[in-house]
Amino acid sequence: MSRADLSRSACTLARAAEIVGDAWTQVILRELFLGARRFDDIQRATGASPHLLSQRLKRLEAEGVVARRAYSARPPRRDYRLTERGLDLWPVIVALKTWGDRWLGDGAPPPVSLTHIACGRPTAPRLTCSECGERLGARDCRADLSEAMLRERGAAR
């Protein structure tokens, strides 16, 4: 399989990775979650080149992760907003941040601190079980594969 073929995998993770599995895309998503909407603001905050940023935003728009919206008619200006599909990527970005803070921190305070608005406290979001509420880590779950997934893995060379 070439990289493009991940988009045709039976695996939804592979298909998701094919869309957002790119370091710059993840940094651009960070910026959108932090509230940036205009091209120039995203560019300044990320340090991405205009070409790179334009290319990544086009892909995210094509995949329905961001939508462009006119915010000025004269001169015509558009900005970028996360769609519901895009907002739902928050756990991916938070999981990356959490791992980075834990394993790649240089002793400095975390670059981004999160506060849970409803409870008012600084929070460290964690994965928990939808059924019992306990915290989940790699050793806590068993994975069962669907027929389609088993077929694909057997067939891949």
Return the number of the residue (24 or 68) whose C-beta is nearest a second copy.
24
CB atoms within 10 A of CB 39: 17
Do residues 107 and 97 make contact, with C-beta atoms less than 8 angstroms apart?
no
Is 67 among the residues that bind a second copy (CB under 8 A)? no
CB atoms within 10 A of CB 28: 26
Candidate list 39, 78, 81, 136; residue touching a second copy; CB under 8 A: 136
Instruction: Give me the least distance between CB of 6 and a second copy, in Å please.
Output: 6
Return the number of the residue (63 or 78) whose C-beta is nearest a second copy.
63
DSSP H/E element including 135: none
Closest by Cα among 12, 3, 1, 18 to 148: 12
Is 15 among the residues that bind a second copy (CB under 8 A)? yes
**Could you say which residues in the range 105-124 bind a second copy, by CB under 8 A?**
105, 108-119, 121-124
Return the number of the residue (75 or 133) whose C-beta is nearest a second copy.
133
**Could you say which residues in the range 39-58 bind a second copy, by CB under 8 A?**
44-48
Burial (CB count <10 Å: 0-12, 13-18, 19+), residue 37: middle
